[in-house]
Chains A and B, each alone.
Chain A
Amino acid sequence: MKVWMLVLLLALGVVAGCRNEGTTVSGCPSAEPSGTPVDTTIMAFLSAARSLHHEADLREKSGDAPGAISALERLVAMPAPSAAEVDEVVADTRARLAELRLAHGDLDGADRDVQAGLQRVSGPTYFRGHLLEVQGLVEEARATAFVDAGKRDEATAAKARAISLLEEAVRVQEQVIDKALADGGTQ
């Protein structure tokens, strides 16, 4: 799924979760009857995130990877309101940034993005699993680079880290699937 679609779904989820019931608003991050709805900030952030991911899509399609990275860097530099959906969007943006940097050989930059993304999400979530997957790819690329440089020991260590990370990604996503299907009350 494209990231902007995820952002849209999250935005719609916030809107759909809010139901005006007479004088109170239930299911919203701000359920204060008379106060200013604080979820406006979240909605604004998600809307901006959607625009910036769309911009990154366009730049990526036209071969402008630095432009795509720049759009996503603007997103992660924005003040992020405190909300689970915001954390997920930021984590997914970090994963996308890491993939873009990885594709251009910036392994250290990719690693930094993965680490920053992992700080946003914990537990068995798709976003955490995806970040671990990308980190595994970074270590895989690092192993190849060490082999090319004739550094066998470093290459072996990087490959071992890659396998462990990819294994962990598989386990996390397996749990995500189990949870999703259990929530759906299947079987």
Chain B
Amino acid sequence: MTNSSRIGAAVLTVLLTLPLTMCGAAAPAEKAPATPAGGAPSPETEGAPAQSNYPQGYPAQPGYAQPPPPAAAPSAGIVDQGDLAQRRAAARAEMDRAQADLEAAASDCAAACRALSSMERATQHLCTLVSDPDDQKRCDDAQHRLASARARVKNSCGTCQ
């Protein structure tokens, strides 16, 4: 896998993970009341105040839905908060890794491109000095190395600026 595709994969992973992580724990707490297919509120829920509006210890009003058992929601919330923090930390770590990979790859490619430029200049001068078969062999060898290095840099970094 090339540098650019590795980085792309890492960034894509982070981008895909982040929204999921951010939404994950909010869902149970903000779950909307179920409505019939037509969208009209059911007789049980229509006009019902939110659960949080009931003062504690008041008797349930006739015609109103019974609130869920009080213990269930807080314990689920605690689990979700922990889970959320864990997933946020994981996403943050993944983001840090992707950023470090990106910076390292950019730095490595800059170094490779700079070295390639020097290699090109040296080969060009070497080949202008050729005057016998032995020199020609050395020029050919340098050109072969240059072509190979150029292909490797192009494969890993794309074009050099």
CB within 8 Å of B: which residues of A? Answer: 1, 126, 129-130, 132-133, 136-137, 140, 143, 159, 162-163, 166-167, 169-171, 173-174, 176-178, 180-181, 183-187
Contacts and interface: CB of A to CB of B under 8 A. Distances in A.
B118 A133 contact: yes
B126 interface: yes
B125 A181 contact: no
Residue among B109, B116, B126, B142 with the most chain A CB within 10 A?
Answer: B126
Interface of B: 1-3, 6, 104-105, 108-112, 114-116, 118-119, 121-123, 125-126, 129, 131, 135, 138, 141-142, 145-146, 149, 152-153, 155-157
Nearest to B125: A166
A143 B121 CA distance: 18
B126 A166 contact: yes
A140 to B, nearest CB: 6
10 contacts: A126-B115, A129-B115, A132-B122, A133-B122, A159-B129, A162-B125, A167-B141, A169-B119, A177-B119, A180-B108
Contacts of A178: 152
B108 A170 contact: no
B112 A177 contact: yes
B129 A170 contact: no
Given A133-B118, A181-B152, A184-B156, A174 B126 contact: no
Contact of A169 (B3, B114, B122, B157): B122
Nearest to B106: A184
A178 B116 CA distance: 11
B96 to A, nearest CB: 12
A170 B145 CA distance: 8
B111 to A, nearest CB: 4
A186 B115 CA distance: 17
B123 A1 contact: no
A169 B155 CA distance: 23
B129 A181 contact: no
Contacts of B3: 184-186
B156 A167 contact: no
B156 A181 contact: yes
A180 B115 contact: yes
Contact of B129 (A132, A163, A185): A163
B119 A170 contact: yes
A170 B115 contact: no
